[in-house]
Structure 1
Amino acid sequence: MRLITFESAGQQRLGAWIERDTRIVDLHRAAALLDPAGGPDAALGSMQALMESGEAGLDRARQAVARAPEEAVLATDDVRILAPVPRPIQMRDSLAFELHLRQAKRANAAMRLRHAPDAQEQLAALERSGGFEPAPIWFKQPVYYKCNRFNVVGTGHDIEWPAYSEVLDYELELGIFLGRGGKDIPAGRARSHIFGYTVYNDVSARDAQADEMPGMLGPAKGKDFDTGNVLGPCIVTADEIADPYALTMTARINGELWSQGSSATMYHRFEDIIAHVSASETLLAGEFIGSGTVGNGCGFELGRYPQAGDVMELAIEGIGTLRNRIVRPARA
């Protein structure tokens, strides 16, 4: 299923896209119409409730899609599509692509040295000394940070340029939501904990990020600002993705192809990330984990950045496209 959260008549609803995403089955309403005597189906009340309901809830959702009365079907153009989970219970973002890490380390150093008169000489010295090589710990285990789960928006929502930054960037990522929790989850069984896949745009204030990261904590304001986490347009359930490590990933700015990569290049895969994160820590259904940026998947690596007014389109094969416009609010 291609599951969405949408807003209609001022209410958030759980839906499933049908007919090439042109129409939506309102799952809660469909279930109620199909079984009037059964009462409201709590599992179909929200995406979080569905993720917590396990296979039984998914089966009821599939039945609602297959048998949906016409009264429970809406046109996509008549509603507002929200983030699949407007407020995730937890968000983590990883750094799983080696090419991105190598290129971002150099780009980060260049950003920090942007005002230095001998910037090129310092960059060359860093390269000679191995300063752009990944730390050994990166190869040993996945690394991640926790995101601001309150800053989530979906496709079609404007991205607000933070007032303290002059360099805003996109980051093209594959994301997962967990459908089963657990503690000390073995990597060999971790795939069964994945509920589904989505597209993630980890919007970044690059100048702020470059300035604060040498402080050995963060990222902070490089990532934490309203509208900075973009998820969607849907969650594709895990059974629909035969191989999550064979997906083409692209980013277009104003229709021009800027980035292209593949989930095949993940060094640390989601199974390994789940196993590492769950070590002595209980994970819950509904938690989100991002892959980190695919190689060449951001302006930081390319040496070019989107501007106010630009439209970003981040797409992953089999999932869909996140489409958002950047706006720069008027300053007081």
Structure 2
Amino acid sequence: MTYAVSRAERPALRAGVLHGELVVDIEQALAAHGRALVADDPSDLLQVIAGGHPAIEEVRAAVDAVARAGETGRPGAERLHELGSVPLVAPLPRPNSLRDYLVIEEHMRGVVAAGVIKEVPEEWFSVPAHYKGNVDEIYGPEDTVPWPAYTDKLDYELEICAVIGAPGRRIRAADAGRHIVGYTLYNDWSARDIQAREMSIGNGPGVSKDFASSIGPCIATPDEFDPATAHLQARIDGEVWSAGTIGTMQFSFPELVEWTSQEQTLRPGDLLGSGTIGKGCGVEIDRWLTQGCVVELEAEGIGVLRNRVGHKGQGPARAVALPER
């Protein structure tokens, strides 16, 4: 996870690990136990992830040691924080890339039933198609997500992202586990009326998606989270609108890795979205968000990703003012 601490006039972002009810600072834990991590800045979670599984194991050992000892460190170099005492931000405030696929069968059947499309295209069964999201409009826990002035139908989408940890090209599905460092929740916010107009042209989506994507609250490693069996839920103002597991994926995450890496290199910090779970969005169930509502996505093993929806045309409001890029 990534969290913020106050530093003079602007916050500093820190990489941490959730250990029970504690947030353990990665850089400080490593320093306390003399462990080496090849990274220019171990306070940057993306650089930690780029170290691959060896780096993750070094971090795990150091964090476990600090948590067992209850070491707080010197003032200004705290190693431990109570969960809730520091604000969380998106675990990767700017991912390397964001690809969102459309591979969950129940969702495809749902949008047909809702009249969004006439039928499931034959090519859907053989090609794991995706669109590329906007990595410069990433929101994290407790952020207010903007309601664009150009849409009257804002929708949430309950999804899971696989996070690439080790680079690779022409990766076989059987080897993909070496390249997936973990999973996080993903809310693929959608302006449905604009999406329909854009895609009627045979292109897109564009501005119907580019205004916001939410990820978080943390990245769970594969030993902590099973995307096939984890229970997922979406609540709007406390009411459950969507619930279930990810369901039948026409292509698994390892198969998405294999397909995508055929003639391009996947890199640390790339996100591969599953697409929406069945009945995991408003358009499938004909229920629509309202301005000011609170949307909570939850997954066993990951936690709760909570966002408030802003008022139309008002713009974003982040829980933590991120440092300038």
TM-score, L = length of structure 1: 0.86
Q: Equivalent residue for 2:144? A: 158
Measured at CA, do residues 276 and 267 of structure 1 come closer, stay the same or move farther in structure 2, by a change above 3 Å? same
Paired residue secondary structure (1:78) = coil
Indicate the residue corresponding to 1:217 in structure 2. 203
Q: Distance in 2 between matches of 1:250 and 1:25?
A: 27
Q: In the alignment, which residue of structure 1 is the partner of 2:15?
A: 14
Q: Give the CA deviation at 1:78.
A: 2.4
Equivalent residues of 1:198, 1:232 under 8 A apart: yes
Once the 2 structures are TM-superposed, how far is the Cα of residue 102 of structure 1 from its aligned partner?
Answer: 2.7
Long gaps (5+) in structure 2? 74-78, 316-325
Instruction: Using the TM superposition, give the Cα deviation of residue 16 of structure 1 relative to its aligned residue in structure 2, in angstroms.
Output: 0.6
Asked if the contact 1:43/1:57 (under 8 Å) is kept, the reply is no
- Counterpart-to-counterpart distance in 2, 1:326 and 1:50: 32
Aligned counterparts of 2:246 and 2:22: Cα–Cα separation in 1: 29
Task: Find 1:234's aligned residue among 218, 225, 229.
Answer: 218
Distance 1:98 1:39 in 2: 41
Identity %: 38
Equivalent residue, structure 1, for 2:33? 34
1:144-185 per-position Cα deviation (integer Å, ceiling 9, x unaligned) = 111101110111111110011111010000111011121111
Cα distance in 2 for partners of 1:29, 1:62 equals 13
Q: Give 1:300's aligned amino acid.
A: V
TM-score of the pair, normalised by structure 2: 0.88
Q: Structure 1 residues 155 and 234, CA, compared in 2 at 3 Å: closer, same or farther? A: same
2:157 maps to which of 156, 171, 196: 171
Query: Closer, same or farther in 2 for the Cα pair 1:331/1:13, shift >3 Å?
Result: closer
Determine if contact 1:32/1:39 at 8 Å carries over to the other structure.
Answer: no
Distance (whole Å) between structure 2 residues aligned to residue 258 and residue 161 of structure 1: 20
Contact 1:154 1:322 in 2 (8 A): yes
Other structure's SS at 1:240 match: coil
Question: What is the aligned length?
Answer: 302
Cα distance in 2 for partners of 1:221, 1:108 equals 22
- Alpha-carbon RMSD: 2.0
For residues 221 and 162 of structure 1, the distance between their equivalents in structure 2, rounded to whole angstroms, comes to 9
**Residues 32 and 40, structure 1, Cα contact 8 Å, conserved in 2:** no
Q: Which residue of the partner structure matches residue 113 of structure 1?
A: none
Contact 1:86 1:152 (8 Å CA) reproduced: yes
Q: Distance in 1 between matches of 2:175 and 2:50?
A: 18
Separation of aligned partners in 2, 1:171 and 1:216: 22
Contact 1:94 1:144 in 2 (8 A): yes
Q: Whole-Å Cα distance in 1 between the matches of residues 314 and 2 of structure 2?
A: 32
TM-superposed CA distance for 1:52, in Å, is 0.9
Aligned counterpart for 1:268 among listed residues 244, 251, 254: 251
Q: In structure 1, how many angstroms separate the alpha carbons of the residues matched to 2:104 and 2:37? A: 47
Letter in structure 1 aligned against 2:203: L
Partner of 1:23: 22
2:218 is matched by which residue type in structure 1? C
Aligned to 2:60: 62
Quick one: which amino acid aligns to residue 239 of structure 1? D
One-letter amino acid of the structure 1 residue matched with residue 146 of structure 2: E
Hey, which of these two has a bigger chunk of helix by percent?
A: 1
1:196 and 2:169 equivalent? no
Deviation at 1:58, TM superposition (A): 1.0
Distance in 1 between residues matched to 2:230 and 2:182, nearest whole Å = 14
In structure 2, do the counterparts of structure 1 residues 288 and 41 end up closer, same or farther at CA, with 3 Å as the change threshold? Answer: closer
Distance in 1 of aligned mates of 2:261 and 2:217: 27
Name which of structure 1's ranges 298-307 and 313-322 shifts more when overlaid on structure 2: 313-322
- Indicate conservation of the 8 Å contact 2:13/2:43, yes or no: no
